Amino acid sequence: MYCYRMHMKKRVTLTLDPEVSARAKYLARSRHTSVSGLVESLLKQASDSGLSTQGNSPTCFVQRWLGRLHVTRRNDPRADQLKKKYSL
């Protein structure tokens, strides 16, 4: 005898700007899914890519942006004033 455990989905209410709602409906329709299915897949993607609750951690930020930002040394009067003001 087999025993299957079924997971019931939970209902969640979202409040969206009317324009965002219209775009979500259009996008869901173009992907042959519902808005609920679209939101669920986007949240799964976000959590799979490490953007879940740990997304605000400094380590996660550093890992995502490491090597993408470059500091250029140039004569910038505003930058010089800020460095002077904040003792940098």
Choice between 48 and 77, residue whose per-residue pLDDT is larger = 77
Query: Is the pLDDT assigned to residue 55 strictly greater than 70?
Result: no
| DSSP state letter for 62 | H
> Pick the residue with more confidence: 37 or 64?
37
33 pLDDT tier (thresholds 50, 70, 90): very high
pLDDT band at 52 (very low <50, low <70, confident <90, very high): very low
For residues 46 and 56, the answer to whether their CB atoms sit within 8 Å is no
Cβ distance 34 to 44 under 8 Å?
A: no
Q: Residue 66: pLDDT above 90? A: no
Q: How far is CA 31 from CA 16, 34, 44, 53, 68, in A?
A: 20, 8, 16, 27, 32
Q: Could you tell me the pTM of the whole model?
A: 0.48
